[in-house]
């Protein structure tokens, strides 16, 4: 079976020579100016699991490269070995410079790729520490790594990491249930991708008092397609959080309301993600995002006349979602 590291670009090198080659890579002589464009701001570790396909790995690697064009980073990519072999590590070194509209707009980035046996997580931590840029914050993106293995990294590989991210819409395990050393330092990419949705829905609902929105609330339902299960869960949690201030009152209807999550693939719905509020009278609020394109629609009757408002929910680019998850 082909190794995951082989699907990614870069020059093959012995593991021990990577840092030496990296130190001299940008030194092109006294006339070279590329080194001034490679000052890193952070370390970003992209950590793959065994079940990640070559296509998925390449797509996420390119996302980190695009991210590094805006936020210069030392990228470290961890690729578990699928073959028995002798258990030795393998390495690649990738570098590229991106030129903007003018030659003065340049960004140079570097990626260090490591192939390793998945059970050697102790050695993995030691090797990653050698490759990290010292004195810079480190961020860790897990992709397809099983929950139990992530837990084994808490006391070694993840020590000192500023933030970990994962994507609940593609992960097999519910990583939100792990006993992370610091829950505030873990973020879901699905939540980050909801930023345009939160803005569209929040802008409309901000025109109403929270007490009026909670009055008589019976049920809140979020429906999602199968590829947006993480977004559906995070959207429901966001609504519950928004209503939490009002639920401090014992007699608040929102405190007794039902919050439900549904998969809309089993229906003939034309939306990929939707939100519906039901009340004990004729009031209601509905928002939906159509399956094709970035258009959506709000339909509501919240004490005034019935309102139907088109919305535009432009999806974040993958690198934008990554930056939202890492920094906010």
Mean pLDDT per block of 10 residues along the chain (328 residues) reads 90 93 70 58 96 97 95 95 81 87 73 88 89 96 97 94 98 96 94 96 93 93 95 96 78 88 79 94 95 91 91 94 97
| C-beta separation of 161 from 42 below 8 A | no
85, part of any domain = yes
Pair 9, 157 in one domain: yes
Q: In the structure encoding, which two tokens stand for residue 146, read together?
A: 């099983």
Cα–Cα distance, 95 to 21 (Å, whole number): 11
Pair 149, 268 in one domain: no
pLDDT of 74 reads 95
Pair 42, 132 in one domain: yes
pLDDT of 273 reads 95
Pair 209, 79 in one domain: no
pLDDT of 31 reads 44
Pair 226, 299 in one domain: yes
Residues of the domain holding 133: 4-161
113, part of any domain = yes
Of 108, 135, 161, the position where a domain reaches its end is: 161
Count of domains observed in the chain = 2
* Distance, C-alpha 232 to centroid of its chain: 15
pLDDT of 96 reads 86
Pair 144, 207 in one domain: no
pLDDT of 247 reads 63
Pair 60, 117 in one domain: yes
Cα–Cα distance, 111 to 8 (Å, whole number): 11
Give the pTM: 0.92
């Amino acid at each position: 079976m082909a190794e995951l590291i082989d699907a990614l670009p870069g020059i093959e090198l012995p593991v021990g020579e990577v840092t030496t080659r990296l130190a001299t890579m940008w030194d092109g002589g006294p006339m070279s100016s590329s080194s001034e464009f490679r000052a890193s701001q952070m370390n970003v570790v992209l950590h793959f699991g065994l079940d990640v396909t070559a296509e998925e790995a390449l797509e996420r690697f390119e996302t980190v490269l695009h991210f590094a064009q805006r936020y210069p980073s030392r990228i470290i990519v961890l690729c578990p070995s699928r073959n028995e072999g002798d258990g030795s590590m393998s390495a690649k070194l990738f570098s590229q410079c991106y030129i903007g509209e003018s030659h003065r707009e340049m960004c140079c980035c570097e990626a260090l790729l490591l192939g390793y046996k998945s059970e050697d997580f102790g050695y993995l931590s030691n090797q990653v520490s050698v490759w990290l840029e010292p004195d810079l914050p480190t961020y860790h993106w897990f992709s397809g790594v099983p929950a139990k293995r992530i837990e084994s990294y808490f006391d070694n590989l993840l020590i000192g990491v500023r933030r970990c991210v994962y994507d609940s819409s593609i992960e097999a395990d519910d990583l939100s249930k792990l006993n992370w050393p610091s829950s505030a330092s873990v973020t879901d990419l699905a939540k980050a991708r909801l930023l345009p949705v939160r803005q569209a829905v929040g802008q409309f609902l901000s025109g109403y008092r929270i007490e009026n929105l909670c009055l008589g609330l019976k049920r809140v339902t979020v429906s999602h397609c199968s590829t947006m299960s993480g977004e559906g869960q995070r959207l429901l949690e966001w609504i519950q959080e928004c209503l939490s201030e009002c639920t401090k009152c014992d007699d608040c209807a929102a405190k007794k309301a039902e919050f439900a999550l549904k998969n809309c693939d089993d229906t003939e719905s034309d939306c990929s993600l939707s939100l519906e509020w039901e009340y004990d009278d004729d009031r209601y609020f509905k928002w939906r995002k159509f399956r094709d394109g970035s258009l959506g629609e709000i339909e509501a009757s919240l004490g005034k006349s019935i309102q139907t408002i088109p919305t535009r929910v432009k999806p974040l680019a993958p690198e934008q979602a990554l930056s939202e998850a890492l920094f906010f």
